[in-house]
């Protein structure tokens, strides 16, 4: 079966009828004439790059009906929470912030509050919100972003609280309008959802089954981005390596990389995330052969013990993982390997944990995201016996960082004296005269330079390093 597609080229293509869209736009235009400013929206985005990109689509939908973005959350006409529930603390942060906004709404009852994203895909959480956070006006899900104009219409014109959730869908909405956060780098979805059901993870429950976009849709989007001046794309999927598995016309992830490598104007191609069980020799070859594909693979290992990996349902062994790492290092000299690690998965013994430590030493990661295992209701791991006590989790976490950080620092040290192309991203947060950018290996570099270099790829010679960033000197071309 080939991918079912629905085009959303403008807001008329949503459930809301053309007449009502016109009415909504007219109202917003009227507001603009009366107030000399447009209605404003502010989006609070939690979670991963999928959510970040969804927020760009939400911004696109809102702009198409006459809203404009504001940084001023307190005075925004519409505040949207794009939520995440990957770990408990992500969820708690959202509830905490919702509590704050409740106070704002009391002072400004006209303010519209909407909540969307992964948390809203869970019935129990929606119920909690409807009951305990009754000031929320709009609830929508990860599959109903395109319906936002209709939901706003219900609140503003019909004075009605509105909820629109679709649990699972085979449809992919193409060509949604987007307000991209950056001009020079862009996030591009290649797959949606996940079929892997790692036993700790909520994503397959909230994002539905895996669907791949048609290659031509992706290529067209990337060509358009390049025309608009974009230099770096990041291809997004929960498991990019299984891209294409539901498409009629065979196209693997490596086939896609070769195609995208041909797009003029694009200078760097990144991807997130690679599942070790599906990382093929073909992909290693593509990374090696495609000059624009960055020599960096984010390859979440999660744990070093085969026993734990099995209970996590990861479908690979530590030997298989190490074998891939060896091949990557052999075939792609200077490749950077980064990872995700979970500490304190149910039943993890001290020996299991030491195997994770061992893995970190053996791979010599360039960087890693480390997490304390967090119980997620509805997942298999939440039902497992032998949950690891919090204090042991914290102890192990600490031990892990004590091994990991010196390795990361050492890997950074190996860059001192070398010159790297750096894509300049912004003015440094700490000093006005400094710029911040990333090497192809995803290392953060601070160096002196002027603002007009933002969006350019420049050469920087590394002079000193810390664990989380490096410092360097701009080189003349």
Q: Which residues lie near ligand SAH (CB under 6 A)?
A: 86-87, 200-201, 203, 238-239, 273, 275, 300, 302, 340, 342, 371, 373-374, 376
Looking at beta carbons only, is 85 or 312 nearer to ligand F3S?
A: 85
Question: Please, which of residues 299-328 interact with ligand SF4 by CB under 6 A?
Answer: none
Tokens for 151? 């939901």
Q: To which residue do tokens 């911004």 refer?
A: 59
Site map 186..205 versus ligand SF4, x via CB under 6 A: --------x-xxx--x-xx-
Task: Pick one of 58, 62, 86, 190: the residue that binds ligand F3S (CB under 6 A).
Answer: 86
Q: To the nearest whole angstrom, how small is the minimum distance from the Cβ of residue 376 to ligand SAH?
A: 5
Asked whether the beta carbons of 442 and 468 are under 8 A apart, the reply is no
Q: Which does 197 bind (CB under 5 to 8 A by kind): ligand F3S, ligand SF4, ligand SAH, none?
A: ligand SF4
Looking at beta carbons only, is 85 or 230 nearer to ligand F3S?
A: 85
Looking at beta carbons only, is 209 or 262 nearer to ligand SF4?
A: 209
Looking at beta carbons only, is 321 or 447 nearer to ligand SAH?
A: 321
Question: Please, which of residues 192-251 interact with ligand F3S by CB under 6 A?
Answer: 202-203, 206-207
Q: Which does 87 bind (CB under 5 to 8 A by kind): ligand F3S, ligand SF4, ligand SAH, none?
A: ligand SAH
CA 142/CA 146 separation, integer angstroms: 10
Q: Does 47 bind ligand F3S (CB under 6 A)?
A: yes
Tokens for 465? 């390093």
DSSP assignment string, 98-130: HHHHHHHHHH-TT-EEEEEEGGGGSHHHHHHHH
Q: To the nearest whole angstrom, how small is the minimum distance from the Cβ of residue 300 to ligand F3S?
A: 12
Find, among 244, 251, 312, 232, the residue nearest to 276 by Cα. Answer: 312
Q: Which does 51 bind (CB under 5 to 8 A by kind): ligand SAH, ligand SF4, ligand F3S, none?
A: ligand F3S
DSSP assignment string, 4-50: EEEE-SSGGGSSS-HHHHHHHHHHHHHHHHHHSS-EEEEEEE-SSHH
Find, among 408, 420, 410, 429, the residue nearest to 472 by Cα. Answer: 420
CA 345 to chain centre: 23
Q: To the nearest whole angstrom, how small is the minimum distance from the Cβ of residue 377 to ligand F3S?
A: 13
Looking at beta carbons only, is 86 or 235 nearer to ligand SAH?
A: 86
Q: To the nearest whole angstrom, how small is the minimum distance from the Cβ of residue 238 to ligand SAH?
A: 4
Q: To which residue do tokens 């091994």 refer?
A: 403
Burial of 389 (0-12, 13-18, 19+ CB in 10 A): exposed
For Cα atoms 124, 14, 202, give the angle at the middle one, nearest 5 degrees. 30
Report residue 416: phi and psi, to 5°: -60, 135
Beta strand spans in 344-399 (E): 367-372
Asked whether the beta carbons of 355 and 343 are under 8 A apart, the reply is no
Looking at beta carbons only, is 58 or 423 nearer to ligand F3S?
A: 58
Question: Please, which of residues 215-244 interact with ligand SF4 by CB under 6 A?
Answer: 238-239
Q: Which does 454 bind (CB under 5 to 8 A by kind): ligand SAH, ligand F3S, ligand SF4, none?
A: none
Report residue 25: phi and psi, to 5°: -65, -40
Looking at beta carbons only, is 85 or 363 nearer to ligand F3S?
A: 85
Burial of 467 (0-12, 13-18, 19+ CB in 10 A): middle
Number of residues that bind ligand SF4 (CB under 6 A): 10
Instruction: Give residue number: closest CB to ligand F3S.
Output: 47
CB atoms within 10 A of CB 127: 10
Number of residues that bind ligand F3S (CB under 6 A): 12
Q: To the nearest whole angstrom, how small is the minimum distance from the Cβ of residue 203 to ligand SAH?
A: 6
**For the chain, what percentages of helix, strand and coil (3-state, to nearest 5) are there?**
40, 20, 35
Q: Which does 342 bind (CB under 5 to 8 A by kind): ligand SAH, ligand F3S, ligand SF4, none?
A: ligand SAH
Q: To which residue do tokens 């009951």 refer?
A: 131
Q: Which does 204 bind (CB under 5 to 8 A by kind): ligand SAH, ligand F3S, ligand SF4, none?
A: ligand SF4
Looking at beta carbons only, is 93 or 288 nearer to ligand F3S?
A: 93
Question: Please, which of residues 108-147 interact with ligand F3S by CB under 6 A?
Answer: 118
Task: Pick one of 61, 76, 85, 454: the residue that binds ligand F3S (CB under 6 A).
Answer: 85
Which residues lie across from 460 on neighbouring strands?
420, 474
Q: To the nearest whole angstrom, how small is the minimum distance from the Cβ of residue 391 to ligand F3S?
A: 26
Residues that bind ligand SF4 (CB under 6 A): 194, 196-198, 201, 203-204, 238-239, 275
Give contact residues for ligand F3S (rule: CB under 6 A).
47-48, 50-51, 84-86, 118, 202-203, 206-207
């Amino acid at each position: 079966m080939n991918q079912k597609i629905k085009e959303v080229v403008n807001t008329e293509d949503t459930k809301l009828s053309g007449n009502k869209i016109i009415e909504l736009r007219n109202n917003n235009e009227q507001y603009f004439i009366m107030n000399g400013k447009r209605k404003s929206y502010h989006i609070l985005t939690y979670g991963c790059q999928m959510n970040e990109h969804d927020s760009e689509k939400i911004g696109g939908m809102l702009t198409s009906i006459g809203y404009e973005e504001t940084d001023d959350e307190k005075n925004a006409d519409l505040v949207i929470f794009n939520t995440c529930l990957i770990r408990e603390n992500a969820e708690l942060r959202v509830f905490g912030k919702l509590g704050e906004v409740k106070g704002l709404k009391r002072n400004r009852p006209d303010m519209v509050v909407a909540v969307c994203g992964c948390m809203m895909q869970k019935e129990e959480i929606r119920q909690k919100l409807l009951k305990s956070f009754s000031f929320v006006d709009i609830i929508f899900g990860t599959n109903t972003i395109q319906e936002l104009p209709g939901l706003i219409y219900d609140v503003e014109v019909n004075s009605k609280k509105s909820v629109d959730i679709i649990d699972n869908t085979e449809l992919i909405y193409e060509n949604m309008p987007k307000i991209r956060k950056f001009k020079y780098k862009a996030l591009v979805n290649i797959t949606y959802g996940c079929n892997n059901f790692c036993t700790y993870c909520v994503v397959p429950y909230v994002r539905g089954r895996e669907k791949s976009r048609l290659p031509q849709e992706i290529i067209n989007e990337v060509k358009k981005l390049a025309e608009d001046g974009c230099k770096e794309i990041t291809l997004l999927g929960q498991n990019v390596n299984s891209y294409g598995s539901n498409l009629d016309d065979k196209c693997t992830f490596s086939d896609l990389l070769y195609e995208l490598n041909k797009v003029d104007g694009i200078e760097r191609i990144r991807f997130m995330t690679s599942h070790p069980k599906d990382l093929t020799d073909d992909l290693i070859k593509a990374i090696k052969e495609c000059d624009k594909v960055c020599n960096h693979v984010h390859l979440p290992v999660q744990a070093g013990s085969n026993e734990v990996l099995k209970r996590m349902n990861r479908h690979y062994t530590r030997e298989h993982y190490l074998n891939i790492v060896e091949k990557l290092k052999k075939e792609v000299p200077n490749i950077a390997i980064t990872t995700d690690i979970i500490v304190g998965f149910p039943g993890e013994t001290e020996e299991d944990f030491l195997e994770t430590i061992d893995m970190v030493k053996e791979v010599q990661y360039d960087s890693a995201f480390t997490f304390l295992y967090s119980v997620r209701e509805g997942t298999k791991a939440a039902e497992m016996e032998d949950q690891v006590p919090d204090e042991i989790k914290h102890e192990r976490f600490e031990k892990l960082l004590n091994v990991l950080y010196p390795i990361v620092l050492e890997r950074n040290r190996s860059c001192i004296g070398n010159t790297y192309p750096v894509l300049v991203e912004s003015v440094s947060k700490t000093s006005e005269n400094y710029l911040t950018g990333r090497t192809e290996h995803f290392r953060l570099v601070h160096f002196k330079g002027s603002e007009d270099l933002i969006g350019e790829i420049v050469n920087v010679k590394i002079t000193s390093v810390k664990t989380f960033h490096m410092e360097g000197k701009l080189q003349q071309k």
